[in-house]
Amino acid sequence: MVARTQQRWQTPSWKQALAAAFTDPIALLQALELSPTKLSAPIQPSPRFPLLVPRGFAALMRRGDPNDPLLRQVLPLAAEARPATGFVLDPVGDANARLAPGLLQKYQGRALLIATGACALHCRYCFRRHFPYADAGARSDRFNAAIAALEQAPDIEEVILSGGDPLMLDDTALAALITRLDDLPQLKRLRLHTRLPSILPSRITDRLCAILSGSRLQVVIVVHINHPAELGRDACLALLSLAELGAPLLNQSVLLRGVNDEVATLAQLSDALIATRVLPYYLHLLDPVSGAAHFDVPEVEARALVTQLRQRLPGYLVPRLVREQPGEPSKTVLL
């Protein structure tokens, strides 16, 4: 086994950590003692969707390993430019679900608010990598339009903050948004979909926890962790801090070729998650977004993996295998 890096990159704040992130694939490879010639596939930077990797996340990658599962999630490859049948710009039907600029509703009783288009990590399989964030308008206009639409929708009881990543909002902006949602009497729950606890753990501050715990709404936090190696010490501490709020912590993963498409890896991930009080929730089949076909794991193989996982773990540690299909009233549970 190749040893994981021992070097850690630490900065005083999450904003400084983000500013110091890798944006050049060659610089990232050099930090990992890798040459482009060692890779099994050629890299090809994408100006429209550039590399972005915080150094703390890069520190969890194995030096000298071109097949490191964390590296594979973020390294832009030439394969992204190859067209693939069935892989499209809007694989989950976001465009047809728009209630207002930046506000989507696909399922009964809940709506999704695009809090920001920004992320701390550019995942190469991202189903919103082609999303027209600019069309939603400036943040203040987008939030005003979303709140106005929610005021006219008394059947919506839950708002999901997504993006991008909602925790890329600074504390002032996030607190102001949550306060406006608190004022909507029909809302019961506030759900946050975020990758920052594992990608940029320094974002999970006492101030952030106070903002979340101060809401009258039931807060549910859904994180996105695909591989047990993503759960470094700082990520575990961040997740445990969120758990202290009493908010349910759930994880959704994406099944990715060359990343987590082995039973042992998925079992290790479930074990690592529950140790930080996070319950495995969903294992998504890859959304067929243009540029991500090289990550695809066929459904028959995915079913076999989850069947084997059920034989190894207690039922509560086995995530539901799901697929999102445009126009359906819920996610499709496959197993």
The β-bridge partners of 284 are 254, 322
CA dihedral 123, 27, 233, 285 (to 10 degrees): 20
Does the annotation place 119 within a ligand binding site?
A: yes
Angstrom distance (rounded) from CA 114 to CA 162: 5
The β-bridge partners of 192 are 161, 221
Does the annotation place 123 within a ligand binding site?
A: yes
Does the annotation place 209 within a ligand binding site?
A: no
Angstrom distance (rounded) from CA 22 to CA 205: 23
Helix ranges, the chain (H):
14-19, 25-31, 55-58, 69-74, 139-151, 171-182, 196-199, 206-213, 233-243, 263-275, 299-312
Q: Six-digit token pair at 111?
A: 């709506």
Give the DSSP letter of residue 164.
S
Annotated binding site: 119, 123, 126
Annotated binding site for [4Fe-4S] cluster: 119, 123, 126
